Amino acid sequence: MTKPAGPYSPIVRAGEWLICSGQVGMRDVGLVDGVAEQTTQAIDNLRTLLEGEGASLDHVVKTMVFLVDMGDFGVMNDAYMAAFGDHRPARSAVGVAELPLNALVEIEAWAWTGAQGRP
C-alpha cells in the first residue's frame, strides 16, 4: 500500500461501516500500466485497506468506479469481475475528465462489517 496522495484518510470506520477512499492502480512507486492492470491493482489496494481493519472484499456492498474514458468500461469490467469473483457489490461507474496521478481508473468502496457480515 502506498502513501495517500493528499491530506485524507484512506479508510475510515463509522460504526460497522468501513469507507475506503478512492484507490488508483498505484504499486510501490508508480502507477501500473493499462486499465485492466490499474483496476486489478486498485482493488488489491482496497483489499489491503480492508484487511488492515479485519474485513475483506466480501464485506464490500457498494463501489464507485471513476473512468477517464468510458470506452474502457468493458476492460475495467472484466478485471473488476475477476478481482471480486462471484461477489457482486452494488456499483456505479462515472466518466471523469481526469484522475489524480494521471490514473485511468479509480475505485472507492463501502464495506459493512456488522454481525452478519452484510446488511
Q: Which tens digit of pLDDT belongs to each residue from 65-87? A: 999 999 999 999 999 999 999 99
Residue 1 predicted with pLDDT over 70:
no
Amino acid 24 reads V
> What is the per-residue pLDDT across 94-111, written as a single tens digit (0 to 9) for each?
999 999 999 999 999 999
Domain of 74 in residue numbering reads as 13-112
Does the residue 39 lie in any domain? yes
**Is residue 99 in a domain?**
yes
117 within a domain of the structure (yes/no): no
- Is 111:61 a contact under the CB 8 Å cutoff? yes
Whole-number Å distance between alpha carbons of 46 and 19: 10
In a domain, 70, yes or no: yes
| Whole-number pLDDT of residue 4 | 58
In a domain, 3, yes or no: no
Q: Can you tell me the distance from the alpha carbon of 56 to that of 44, in angstroms, rounded to the nearest whole number?
A: 11
**Residue 18, in any domain of the structure:** yes
Which is more confident, 28 or 112? Answer: 112
Q: Is residue 22 part of a domain?
A: yes
Percentage of the residues of the chain whose pLDDT score is greater than 70: 92
CATH at residue 40: 3.30.1330.40
Contact indicator for 75, 37 with CB cutoff of 8 Å: no
How many structural domains comprise the chain? 1
3-class DSSP assignment, residue 30: strand
User: Where do we find the cell 494521471?
Assistant: 102
